[in-house]
């Protein structure tokens, strides 16, 4: 692995953009590192660690601004962690190609839905804590299964579900997602760390850029972006992931 100013800059910018919409950067880091010639395990472990750092950096800022809904986040974290092995179990027993196509269609529909004008930005859903907990558990279980089956981060599913199922304000949904993503990234990284040697000479400098990007993204989102802008950015990410899943279903990569 080599470290270049261009790569460090790219890591900063990726972290900045994705933390604004509730992701940490892993959605782009892993394929980027593979394209650059990293071994699969090195790419995955580095991606997860940088994802963790960016998401944690943003989540800390969001939490200080009281933008993280912990009554939603904690039940979702628990249920998604418990449900993820089910997705892994299904992965090795089902033909994945039809599922990838269906999931790509679902993501495309979600992207279109997020671009559609709404009646207005939700300020307060008015949902009781008990219903939030139940909703969070249900969403977490779905995300855990999908994440385990596809091997991708759950943040890409969390934000649309929180916005349109539980009627969570867009900024709260994105901020809460970064907090949730921290845990999935941490457990995934620890799994790789227990099996593979980690290249800290690359990861630590890259983590500094990822941390800075997460901070910048969180500050921009909390003070300057409107809910509509966040939804537009997120919809673009959904379309990119849709294309990636369709490519994987056709070419198996």
Q: What does the DSSP assignment read for 205-247?
A: HHHHHHHHHHHHHHHHHHHT--HHHHHHHHHHHHHHHHHHHHH
Give me the number of domains the chain comprises.
1
Q: How far apart are CA 57 and CA 62, in angstroms?
A: 9
Range of the domain at 162: 5-251
- What was the pLDDT predicted at 205? 92
Q: Tens digits of per-residue pLDDT, 60-95?
A: 999 999 999 998 899 988 988 888 778 767 766 777
- What was the pLDDT predicted at 148? 65
Angle ∠(37,26,94) on CA atoms, nearest 5: 90
Q: How far apart are CA 171 and CA 187, in angstroms?
A: 26
- What was the pLDDT predicted at 126? 56
- What was the pLDDT predicted at 62? 94
Residues near 199 by beta carbon (within 8 Å), at least 6 away in sequence? 1, 42, 46
The neighbour count for residue 49, using CB atoms within 10 Å, is 26
**Mean pLDDT, 10 residues at a time, over the chain (253 residues)?**
79 90 79 80 85 92 92 88 78 72 79 68 59 83 74 73 85 90 83 82 92 94 83 86 82 68
Q: Are 198 and 1 spatial neighbours (Cβ–Cβ below 8 Å)?
A: no
- What was the pLDDT predicted at 119? 45
């Amino acid at each position: 692995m080599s470290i270049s100013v261009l790569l460090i800059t790219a890591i900063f910018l990726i972290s900045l953009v994705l933390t604004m919409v509730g992701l940490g950067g892993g959605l782009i880091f892993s394929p980027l590192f593979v394209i650059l010639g990293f071994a699969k395990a090195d790419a995955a472990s580095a991606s997860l660690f940088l994802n963790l750092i960016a998401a944690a950096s943003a989540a800390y800022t969001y939490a200080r601004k009281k933008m993280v809904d912990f009554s939603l986040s904690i039940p979702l974290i628990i249920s998604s962690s418990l449900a993820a092995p089910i997705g892994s179990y299904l992965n090795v027993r089902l033909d994945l190609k039809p599922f990838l196509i269906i999931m790509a269609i679902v993501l495309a529909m979600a992207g279109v839905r997020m671009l559609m004008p709404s009646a207005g930005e939700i300020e307060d859903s008015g949902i009781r804590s008990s219903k939030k907990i139940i909703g969070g558990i249900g969403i977490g279980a779905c995300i855990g299964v999908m994440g385990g089956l596809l091997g991708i981060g759950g943040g890409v599913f969390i934000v649309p579900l929180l916005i349109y199922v539980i009627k969570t304000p867009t900024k709260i949904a994105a901020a809460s997602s970064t907090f949730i993503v921290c845990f999935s990234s941490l457990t995934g990284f620890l799994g790789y760390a227990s099996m593979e040697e980690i290249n800290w000479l690359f990861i630590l400098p890259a983590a500094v850029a990822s941390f800075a990007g997460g901070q910048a993204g969180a500050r921009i989102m909390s003070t300057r972006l409107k809910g509509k802008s966040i939804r537009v950015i997120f919809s673009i990410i959904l379309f990119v992931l849709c294309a990636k899943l369709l490519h994987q279903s056709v070419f198996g990569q």
